[in-house]
Amino acid sequence: MQFSALLVSLLLTTAAVAKKNGTEPVSEARQCKEIKGLSALVELAGNSTKLDKVTKNNATKIAEIQAKASAAAPMLQTLQSNTTLMSACAVIDASEIETNLCQETFMLQRFVKFAANTTAVASATKNNATKIANIELKASDAASKLKTLTSNSTLQAACPAVMQKDECQAMKSLMKFVAVANNQTKLDKAAKGNTTKEDEIKAKAVTAQDKLTAMQGNATFVAACDALDKNSEKGTETGSSTASTSSTAVKSAAFILKGSSAAGLMGSTMAVVFVGMLML
């Protein structure tokens, strides 16, 4: 993990808590996230081995993290002393674990399906024998993990709802991507003046629009997504989400475009696997 990314994340978490003045209402979910972030910061500062690794033994960065952790510790203690909040966090954490396990199930299912499709594997790897062998090896491990996850009836009973939420989010992402492709200003920003990239985004937007149209044509699915949005709005804080939509959409377009780069795709076996799975 890059030090800069980790440090920025930790500092933002600390700053978020530091800004609370006791009068601004904060959701339990937000407070639980703050507890996780602060706990991670304090734990990191107290683990010299991890600290040395993350900072690459940079004394200045180590001192900076330790100072932030020292300031965060009292805030963490205050939050953790709230037994009602901690009980709520336990429920939220359990839900997050369940969601993560369901998403892992979905990913493993797609991977196992991909690995069993020799045509898709050959196409994704360009018939590279080494990469094909790696995929076969990973597929065996994936099948074993998948068997364990699917044998958990309680977990699997919760997964359809998780799948619905993921698919609704996918629809939103497609909407944002298509919006970027249809807005010349946003398109110019995403392509950075590269006409080839611009053409690639437009071409991908055609496929994205087809998928989006199919999703939106399912009235039951759309109604379920609307219901999820309404429930989500009740438990989330308002903020700069509207302002960040454009930026997020442009980044999504740039990410999708980067994912289509031949050099980027073939950089690792996992990248090849991911792209191959998208073919299915």
Confidence of residue 264 (pLDDT cuts 50, 70, 90): very low
pLDDT in tens, 191-201: 888 888 888 88
> H or E element: which one contains 202?
helix 195-216
Helix, strand, coil percentages, rounded to 5, for the chain: 85, 0, 15
Quote the tokens at residue 144.
């074993």
pTM of the model: 0.61
Q: What is the CA radius of gyration of the chain?
A: 22
The burial of 102, by beta-carbon neighbours within 10 Å (0-12 exposed, 13-18 middle, 19 or more buried), is given as buried
pLDDT at 32 > cutoff 90: yes
> Residue 33 above 60 pLDDT?
yes
As given in the structure block, the two tokens for residue 129 are 């024998």
Question: Among residues of the chain, what percentage have pLDDT more than 70?
Answer: 73
Dig out the tokens for 197 from the structure.
């990239």
Neighbours of 32 (CB within 10 A): 20
Report the interhelical angle of 28-45 vs 3-18 (nearest 10°).
130
124-137 pLDDT, tens digit per residue, is: 899 999 999 999 99
Which tens digit of pLDDT belongs to each residue from 71-92? 999 999 999 999 999 999 999 9
Q: Mean pLDDT, the chain, as a whole number?
A: 79
Q: How far apart are CA 269 and CA 267, in angstroms?
A: 7
Q: Which two tokens stand for residue 224?
A: 């379920």
Please give the pLDDT value at position 230. Answer: 81
pLDDT over 60 (residue 245): no
Distance between CA atoms of residues 235 and 182, nearest Å: 32
**Best CA proximity match to 75, nearest among 4, 10, 5, 7:** 10
> What one-letter code names the amino acid at 144?
S
Q: What does the block give as tokens for 51?
A: 């600290």
Residue-wise DSSP of 63-105: HHHHHHHHHHHHHHHHHHT-HHHHHHHHHHHHHHHHHHHHHHH
Here the tokens at position 257 are: 């475009």
Mean pLDDT is highest, among 20-34, 73-87, 234-248, for 73-87
The predicted-structure confidence for 108-166, as pLDDT tens digits, reads as follows 999 999 999 999 899 889 999 999 999 999 999 999 999 999 999 999 999 999 998 88
What is the predicted pLDDT for the residue at 240?
Answer: 38
- Provide the percentage of residues in the chain whose pLDDT is more than 90: 47
- Distance in angstroms (rounded) separating the CA atoms of residues 38 and 9: 10
